[in-house]
Structure 1
Amino acid sequence: MARESFNDILAFVHVVREGSFTRAAALLGVTPSALSHAVRALEARLGVRLLTHTTRRLSTTEEGERLFVNVLPHFEGIDAELAAVEELRDKPAGTIRITSAEHAANSVLWPKLSKVLHEYPDINVEVSVDYALSDIVSQRYDAGVRLGNQVAKDMIAVRIGPDLRIAVVGSPGYFAQRPVPATPHDLAGHNCINLRLPTHGGLLPWDFAKDGQEVKFRVGGQWTFNNSSSIVKAALAGYGLAFVPEDMVLEHIDAGRLIRVLDDWCDPYPGYHLYYPNRRQSSRALGVIVEALRHRD
């Protein structure tokens, strides 16, 4: 059947349902004469009269009543399906891909998102853990997590965590054989556990600051890992000093399994931010993720 026939049938259905060309025209946003022309064209193709009308009353013929009764449920079904699709459009759904360092994934992403995703079963979250400063646009991530001072200026950045501090720790067994360092310069005589970064294969420098003085050290030691969890395990085993976010080791410090040193050289630094491209329209799913992660003092 030609598209014109569907349009004419739809016009006919609205006229019968409203009982008036004028009211049906107002509902469809067309003129009454346009609807009258559509119904006459349908009658001409079918070769039967569908409507009878006088100045006071509009009614269907026997053929018109049969057509109306049989096609109305189909159009109502289409309307219902369109409404369902519109509702689905407004329902947060889809996969959100986030690139993040291990510490941020464990300390921020998982604790916050695990509390809310039960409410959004149609949202899927994929977290890719790495230490590279990935280009989220070219690698098709929806968002990334970086420290506040690492986010590019052309990105939207949302703070998702408090300021952080580094802790330098070693086991009691380790310090039983070596003196406690008093300044960062003393690290030259210590076995330090390194973190290798994926960017250019370099090692993470150990940064310190005190009274406006900033120092950066390249330390050496027997062990190098590409993740912080393994560094903590090595420190607990007595293999050397670890340079890690303090929340990873506070429990071990309180329990006496690790000893903290150089605390006065470890100033706070900007916490984690979620960042994503400055687009005019972001998905509702990403909006849910952003609000769930947003840091609130």
Structure 2
Amino acid sequence: MHSLLLLTLAALPALAQSTRPDAHQLGSCKTGMYSFSEARTYRPPYAVEEPPAAVDPNMYDFVVLEGNNQTLKMDATGATALMVKPTNTSTPGAIVKGSTSRFIQYGKIQMKMQAVGVPGIVTTFILMSNVKGAQPFLGDEIDWEIVGNTTSSAQSNVPTWHGHEKDIVFGAPPHVLTPAATPQYPNGQPSTTYHIYELDWKHNEITWSLDGQVVRTFTKGSGDAAAAGTTGGPAVQLGAGQSPYWAGVNTWSVPSVSAKFEWVNITYPAPPPQTKINPDRPLPQPLSGYDDNDLPVPQWPANQNFL
């Protein structure tokens, strides 16, 4: 079963609208099951930094932000982000990135993925807010980043905007999974095998888990980070890219490398209908979506029912 289960996802505006209202204001969230599919993937004619407002989420489940149909493939086996050796290997290669077409407000999100174990390549699972205002981005970010030159650990990040400055919280314990902070990957497995990465986002707390084991908890106001907490209805992003310096140097001994994403899961306590089940790869256990009081709900806000 290679599917995307989405809950508490705020719909984008209709095709006729030129801007997207704040997801906190619209809500319009609903449950659903969405398979990775080329037919349900919107590929704009140009690179975009966010799902464009013109995308109808009833027609498309995913938006390609960077890449093409060769470098970001969506099919029944999942999503594959392919990094190809650049012509000039002394410069960073391209970034390959996709996003859900809907936006989430709190919830537990899991992604099963296989990272690239090559120096210089970073594999990402991100909740990225695209709410804009007077500042560049009023919304923030929660993510997992797996750096190819450190295949025994992963980074948990909370970049957040303060005015025009972005504070990034990562890189040192407890933000990196090292023996001094938390256990490494279970059973000594590297990041290049499939693992389940989880973000549990509540109104005042974020918890990161790896293969079901809690590895970090960030509480707003705890002094753990400069981050004040994430706001602004983010979308779920996946991808891979070559860092210019901090992730190591890729010598490109092979012509290409790829990150693989088997499924993304966001559910609530009552399990949705489980169709197209592959008995060899069952769906994960039902999880929770939350309202502003951290109570489980089938949609957010609870009084929205027009989608």
Does the alignment reach a TM-score above 0.5? Answer: no
> Relative contact order: is structure 1 or structure 2 higher (C-alpha 8 Å, sep ≥ 6)?
2
From the two aligned structures, give the one with the greater helix fraction: 1
From the two aligned structures, give the one with the greater strand fraction: 2
Structure number with bigger Rg: 1
The alignment's TM-score, normalised by the length of structure 1, stands at 0.20
The alignment's TM-score, normalised by the length of structure 2, stands at 0.20
